[in-house]
Structure 1
């Protein structure tokens, strides 16, 4: 029975935080971002997929140190052949991965835009302290807050002491560019980082009570003077290397620890 004021599910989460982390799911939207980590961790592509037949989602898996590592990439669109980026794919693969693999921890890693007004520079890697959506505009009382869906992320003070990462809030939307309405919402969200998946992953992880952390590397300066798409493509490969180095450091730190020790 859970202590007074605590539900049995809350008690279960607290107990789980004291158990060493064994299974990690890393959600990564783009193949370019995923493959260097697949090589680093010496993972193999899943031949007999744990996912429903017909979906393009790809799982790479293996043992690294004492961890069961799973990198989940949503795959390529079946018609257009591009990476399946955005909140819909991110939500689906996060839900399916939790159901199939029962991870102790989710890591959402990826490249993103950053705001120089908030101190972001190309190549910076951020550990996200909070997430929200900026393009789910529902101007009705209470629904407006549901649309924003602001959440604090898992507190990891010990990780921050050991790994050289900046800290900032993340705002998520389904467009690479930024409309004036999006800009106003991102400012209201107090975000330093802008991406297309993070808050969706956070929503599902929170729904199913799985701890999640978010590691985002800056490829483009959203409030800079260069076109976002051009700057993103120009910096993608180099910044992905920085992202993968940081993800490796985080995984190394997690090895042998429980959630409460992060």
Structure 2
């Protein structure tokens, strides 16, 4: 999920996977931005809400659910509701903080960032499609200074899971992340430059932190709206959220079942 090592061509996470090839995945961290997306998985995996107030810093609204499913210790963390406005704490800031704190506290072997996303019909996306992101980058961090421009985009390959994608018959595509639901002309140009098939508000931030701390992460994104379609994004997103969340949760369940009992390189 990091830029390739100039000598070996491997990513940091892939190097870690090679080192840990003899150890089956044990601790799984699922990061989800919205309660609507999270609760069906809490039910599916029979997870319990954590009451340990010392796990995260005092005062944060973050919520952890945890439990044992088959051979996996599953932790599902979502950023909770904004304390002032009562809405889901979506976006890159909450995602970055939650990812960092969860890695530090829970020491996961693998991260799954699951969520809904916009898709582009020009890239073949349809409402209800589920993608595994092959790459992640930002589209709203514009720093027009040499090298800083590349830092702003923050393009990284995600942890490679060719067997998982093939065996579960999932689609692959590049993911572009920004903190706005809509798309400005500047964003549109940047997303096109990123060659993205799907667009979300958290993925590249999770990828950055996971890469920084050398934890493999995969990204499962279900399409709620067609960004380059005819309907307004917000209207289509709300119209399809519940149905597409069901497709997302089914895909995440398949991924978790697939991961169970396997080592990182097996994916």
**Could you say which TM-score interval applies, normalised by the shorter chain?**
over 0.9
Once the two structures are superposed, the pairs formed by residues 1-262 of structure 1 within 5 Å of their partners are 14-49=18-53, 50-262=55-267
What SS does the aligned partner of 1:202 have?
helix
Structure 2 alignment gaps of length 5 or more: 1-6
After TM superposition, where is structure 1 displaced by more than 6 Å over at least 4 residues in a row?
none
What SS does the aligned partner of 1:81 have?
coil
d(CA) in 2 for partners of 1:176 and 1:17? 39
Instruction: Give 1:164 shift.
Output: 2.5
d(CA) in 2 for partners of 1:139 and 1:226? 32
Structure 1 alignment gaps of length 5 or more: none
d(CA) in 1 for partners of 2:22 and 2:162? 16
**TM-score, structure 1 normalization:** 0.95
What SS does the aligned partner of 2:76 have?
strand
* 1:51-103 superposed Cα distances (whole Å, 9 cap, x missing partner): 11110000000000000001001000000000000000000000000000000
d(CA) in 1 for partners of 2:196 and 2:209? 20
Q: What is the root-mean-square deviation of aligned Cα atoms in Å?
A: 1.4
Q: How many residues align?
A: 256
Instruction: Give 1:12 shift.
Output: 5.6
d(CA) in 1 for partners of 2:94 and 2:169? 30
d(CA) in 2 for partners of 1:18 and 1:36? 32
d(CA) in 2 for partners of 1:15 and 1:187? 36
d(CA) in 2 for partners of 1:17 and 1:33? 31
8 Å CA contact 1:18, 1:260 repeated in 2: no
What SS does the aligned partner of 2:144 have?
coil
